[in-house]
Amino acid sequence: MKKKTNNKAFTLIELIAVIIILGILMIIAIPSVTKYISDSRKATYVQTAKNIANGAKVMVNEGKFSMLDTNVTYYIDASCISTENGSKSPYGEFDPAYVVVIFNGRTHVYFWTSRDTTGQGVKRITKVDDLTEDSIVSDIKKDDILNNVGLDKREYYQLIDGDCTVHEPEEVRTTISSEVGEIKFICVRAQAGTLHQEKCTQGSKFCASTVGKNNYTTFGQVGTKGTLSTGDAFDCDVNGDKIFDPNSERFYYVSDYFDTKASANGENTYDSEYAVLIYYSHYNGGPVQSGIAYNSVSNNYSGPKTAISALPDSGTWKNVSLKETERQILGEFKENHNKTAVKNNKPLPEYSYEGKSARLLTVQELMAGCGIGNVGDARIGVLNNCLFLLENSKYSSSSNPTYGFWLETASTNDLVSTYRVNSEKMEVLTSNTNATNKGARPAIEVEKIYIDY
């Protein structure tokens, strides 16, 4: 009997089909794999830069280098800095790379610029915390890096080379590349002669009890260079037009940033890297004298929903932004002002300033700035040292319809009132949230390195 043959070999057509399918799969897969490898290398580049910068921070904090001149930009060669994970670019050796350091009078701020032997790197001097994969560019020339000295337009730069040798400071070169990542100040200290003034026309209380009728109140002060004090006047380029207008962009420093969510979680209450500044006027599409309710439905447990609607949005004040848009209502008294407020045995919810570039001032920031021990028992006249909070209110003129402005912090004694600044007796007290004779006064949060003080 003839044995059957089991012929399982591929035919030519089947082989061609398999080759075509493999080719299609490769066409699809190769770009994805290539992108993955590229993104991975860039992520490694960024992480390596941050590791080196952290090493530089340790050296500075331990006193390895003295970097306390506010007029010098310091360049530390990356090869001087040792890290646990090494300091090599994923593309090749760094050639060169620098951690760039400035001292703003209070703290050191760290930046990065680099090139490696393949021309990959970060040409524009970038704050270390802001480094992303998008920061990596190609075809950087070796001379580009140190030609970009002069961060913040300081007069001198100092180089610490790969052997950690500190060279004498050199004058910043006069032809600085347009690519330099200099700090662009958001707020500059107000100039003498530009402080806002209002004539007192009140016959009693209000301004009559402080400066007297027919006299002028000067709001805020120019302050002292190198220090930040409550009431220091600043002009802030909030709209990004590169103009610091003392008439329409006047702000006053109140205190360091108070983090409601972190405080509710038992973490650090204040962040000294950020300053909170208050606008000179109420706001609703622009500076106004008219008021607005905190919450028109007369409850304080869902946040300042109505007042938030009047605050400038991120498209209008596009040069500033909030550190966190989500906020938490906290207790107002000193013993519980870092605890989540509770109503009916339930914690008050978080609420959002999403889409807004400013928020309302908190009771905690006002207490810290104006030296008030407890707003829960605040007395008449506690704001005498913070009269800048009363500008553009009934304080100077009875024709102004508003008595002051809302604070972010709700009362924990009831469900329908919240705290506000009262211009009549220069005090802090509560009002029903649906009252409309208080304004929404924007508070902005600005990282201090972007404030020229």
pLDDT digits (tens, 9 = 90+) for 182-207: 667 899 999 999 999 999 999 999 99
User: Based on the domain organization, do 256 and 347 belong to the same domain?
Assistant: yes
The DSSP bridge pattern shows strands 108-116 and 94-103 to be: antiparallel
Nearest to 453 by CA among 106, 99, 78: 106
Q: Is residue 305 part of a domain?
A: yes
Q: Is residue 304 part of a domain?
A: yes
Residues in contact with 1: Cβ distance below 8 Å, sequence separation at least 6, in sequence order: none
Residues in contact with 188: Cβ distance below 8 Å, sequence separation at least 6, in sequence order: 234, 235, 236, 244, 451, 452
Nearest to 305 by CA among 347, 247, 263, 356: 356
∠43-47-53 over CA atoms, to 5°? 150
pLDDT at 266: 63
334-359 pLDDT, tens digit each: 445 455 555 555 566 668 899 999 99
Domain extent for 95: 41-171
User: Based on the domain organization, do 245 and 344 belong to the same domain?
Assistant: yes
Q: What confidence tier does 380 reach under pLDDT thresholds 50, 70, 90?
A: confident
pLDDT at 91: 77
Average pLDDT, the chain: 85
Please give the backbone phi and psi of residue 164, each rounded to the nearest 5 degrees, phi first: 65, 25
Nearest to 38 by CA among 142, 134, 141, 117: 134
Q: Is residue 17 part of a domain?
A: no
The residue-averaged pLDDT of 323-342 equals 65
Reply yes or no on whether the pLDDT at 6 is more than 70: no
Higher pLDDT, 144 or 404: 404
User: Based on the domain organization, do 158 and 282 belong to the same domain?
Assistant: no
Q: Is residue 426 part of a domain?
A: yes
User: Based on the domain organization, do 194 and 106 belong to the same domain?
Assistant: no
- HSE at residue 163, side-chain half, CA atoms within 13 A, is 2
pLDDT at 178: 45
Q: Which of 212-216, 279-283, 380-384 has the lowest mean pLDDT?
A: 380-384
Q: What is the DSSP letter of 23?
A: H
Write down the H helix ranges in 244-304.
260-264
Q: Is residue 130 part of a domain?
A: yes
User: Based on the domain organization, do 145 and 251 belong to the same domain?
Assistant: no
User: Based on the domain organization, do 130 and 218 belong to the same domain?
Assistant: no
